[in-house]
Structure 1
């Protein structure tokens, strides 16, 4: 078997134990990302009394959305093993919208209603994009998606390394104990990956996390204990009602445009990691269905009292690490997330995994995402236009992350939008693709990669 080929392809059906083991790793990789936006937005806006419910609904909707995305319902979904969760991209815009509503005297319930309302209306932008994505081939080229995938991975590495050191605000940040614990997890994952035993490779992240947690328990590195556990949360559609504000809607609407590009990048990376084509009609159908599902799932999220959903890039890293690309594993992931949403106590306990342990695993995954993007770019004909597009867009994307104060002269809303390396880098790549001429003597760069970029595995 080729190193690049997964152990289980898209339509393979691993046994229940293998499927459950792979699914647990997907949940562990995405759990913090799913609940973090609700925690951040809720804390910033003083919504403490509803925090537990918002987190539960984020997990519940992620379960439903993952089922739709991975199993493909009619035109909805990519049919890839792609996990959906609450999008980080909207956090700054939602906090700003909530602060505006709060300044106008809105209650907690009215603030949440406004946030959900603008998200519900904005979701129709991504739904529309999903229906017309095939007409945007000249804009969303493989070079653009490769740049976006690369920036997704590179921009997230900081999050993983911060957790490896102990997490933001940790008193022992950067201590040898934290770094040693993170290094142990990485060594275990790498050892499992290099093993010839299939089960060790499939469970590499899980075994790394378990080893890290056991060592943390023995050395006293677990922090905090849950004071009270809530055992059941019933989903209540439109519990807070629906509000709307045009000032809040404009930045949210723009981010829906950007997140559609991110989704194309995520799904392209997952398709490649799964041994599936990244060009041609099968690929295009999956991308359209994936973006459409992103929009519909974000609308569903607003109706069920949580924030917009999107495909999660870290799960591409899990597919690469475990070698399990079977979309049937998505059912297990969906059910686990649904249960976590209905039983908040389970999710609360998972929050106590030590940050260095989780950070070590996610850093590996984020690095693999960047590698996936680089591989997409390496498949392109390296014309001068392509080289300059990659150079400018990656430079601009990483630049705003490394030197955020460079945007200090922009209006506050614009600075918040363009502070995202994915937003700045992705939009720069699109502009270069549209505006830069093809130099004389350069081979004409197609809107799609060639059909032999990967070996197609024809399945929907």
Structure 2
């Protein structure tokens, strides 16, 4: 049964589309600026250079999101996919950044490494065959499970070492937002159901304003208008950095494939090899453009799949409008700073619901597969090992850097294990009696 309020090709009225697009913007903006902020702060780049990284990330995220949604020839999946900077590349980027090459080496290695994704995109029709329902459902569920710790930290108000972490006031505010979102999704009609997330977050933001929780320092310090500068840092091409970035791009192909399959489930779209080829090609070309425009590589954002699952709004035109808002945020940094001023518990209340919906989607997909010992092993091992590195990333600290780079993401490890186990585990033998039972069922 199709329970979408707006399907992929639907075009809601402009005012409603703008509200729904803002919903996706709120879900993605923190993640998009987090990577350039981390890289800029850890490498101790001058403030103007870090601002350049952030502005370019927002602007190019918007451009690539628009292309991903609407398509440009063979480029783009033509589904509602928000694109943004990816944490998969942070370890490789910092390793290069601390070398003599610095930021120029990061961007040069990223530019060359993007060829891995661009070339790999043409093999996606073959790769699609490696994703039967047992693998797809496991990957989708693993995406949601990997995002839950992020939502929990938002819910608690920061990182575990923060003094205000899990302060009862933070938990109450996050719960307040969560309850509003649940109530609107369950009982709201029309716009109130479709825009449940943004309405819940607006209510939380207003409550935070009244309590004096909102810090406007970033808004006051932000530039009103700024144009990102191409090749601001220059380009250098360290061989070791290119290898590290290429590995990260291989990992991203697996993650993006999982995200696109989850997106297909959320939008009621059958994902073909052609879809995957267009989506991954857009990822690769977008990352190459990002390097030329002085920011870090991109991938699809899984958190926005949760927005679609929760609200039932799958219109690619709405998410194209999110791309327009991201471009404006890149050109007008004060706009982005205002969004970033939203307190973390407000994000946490909505985020916990969004990411949990992705888990539910994965469980529903797995509910349709045959209940067998083989499928049970694939799911159990993949999810167990994926959660192991998600909840205890230090598990890999004493292993070689290459291993940590490849297996450090729970989504990647879970996806790879599901793929490998599906290929090597023998199919369950079905006896005559079992066949009769299945036919009767």
Instruction: Report the TM-score range of the alignment, normalised by the length of the smaller protein.
Output: over 0.9
How far apart, CA to CA, are the structure 1 residues paired with 2:274 and 2:401?
38
| 1:305 aligns to 2:305 (yes or no) | no
Distance verdict in 2 for CA 1:85–1:442, change over 3 Å: farther
For residue 222 of structure 1, report the CA deviation from its aligned partner. 2.0
Paired residue secondary structure (1:174): coil
Paired residue secondary structure (1:31): helix
How far apart, CA to CA, are the structure 1 residues paired with 2:309 and 2:376?
27
**2:4·2:312 contact (CA, 8 Å) conserved in 1?**
yes
Alignment-derived partner of residue 246 in structure 1: 239
Which of residues 13, 16, 27 is equivalent to 1:15?
13
User: May I ask how many residue pairs the two structures share in their alignment?
Assistant: 429
Alignment-derived partner of residue 168 in structure 2: 176
For residue 415 of structure 1, report the CA deviation from its aligned partner. 2.6
Alignment-derived partner of residue 408 in structure 2: 419
How far apart, CA to CA, are the structure 1 residues paired with 2:125 and 2:405?
30
Distance verdict in 2 for CA 1:434–1:273, change over 3 Å: same
Alignment-derived partner of residue 362 in structure 1: 351
Distance verdict in 2 for CA 1:19–1:215, change over 3 Å: same
Alignment-derived partner of residue 267 in structure 2: 274
Distance verdict in 2 for CA 1:272–1:139, change over 3 Å: closer
Matched ranges for 1:30-429 at <5 A: 30-49=28-47, 50-99=49-98, 101=99, 106=100, 110-168=101-159, 169-223=161-215, 225-226=217-218, 227-278=220-271, 283-429=272-418
**1:18·1:202 contact (CA, 8 Å) conserved in 2?**
no
How far apart, CA to CA, are the structure 1 residues paired with 2:367 and 2:75?
30
Paired residue secondary structure (1:276): coil
How far apart, CA to CA, are the structure 2 residues paired with 1:442 and 1:240?
65
**2:126·2:273 contact (CA, 8 Å) conserved in 1?**
no
Paired residue secondary structure (1:422): helix
**1:139·1:430 contact (CA, 8 Å) conserved in 2?**
yes
Give the structure-2-normalised TM-score. 0.93
Paired residue secondary structure (1:306): coil
Structure 1 runs not aligned, ≥5 long:
444-460
Name whichever of 283-292 and 344-353 sits farther off.
Answer: 283-292
How far apart, CA to CA, are the structure 2 residues paired with 1:116 and 1:140?
32
What's the C-alpha RMSD, in Å, of the aligned pairs? 1.8
Structure 2 runs not aligned, ≥5 long:
433-441
**1:150·1:373 contact (CA, 8 Å) conserved in 2?**
yes
Paired residue secondary structure (1:310): strand
**1:70·1:330 contact (CA, 8 Å) conserved in 2?**
yes
For residue 417 of structure 1, report the CA deviation from its aligned partner. 3.5
Paired residue secondary structure (1:390): helix
Which of residues 4, 23, 37 is equivalent to 1:6?
4
Name whichever of 119-128 and 399-408 sits farther off.
Answer: 399-408
How far apart, CA to CA, are the structure 1 residues paired with 2:74 and 2:387?
35
How far apart, CA to CA, are the structure 2 residues paired with 1:155 and 1:79?
26
Distance verdict in 2 for CA 1:146–1:192, change over 3 Å: same
How far apart, CA to CA, are the structure 2 residues paired with 1:218 and 1:442?
67
Paired residue secondary structure (1:328): helix
How far apart, CA to CA, are the structure 1 residues paired with 2:228 and 2:391?
40
**1:151·1:425 contact (CA, 8 Å) conserved in 2?**
yes
Name whichever of 24-33 and 48-57 sits farther off.
Answer: 48-57
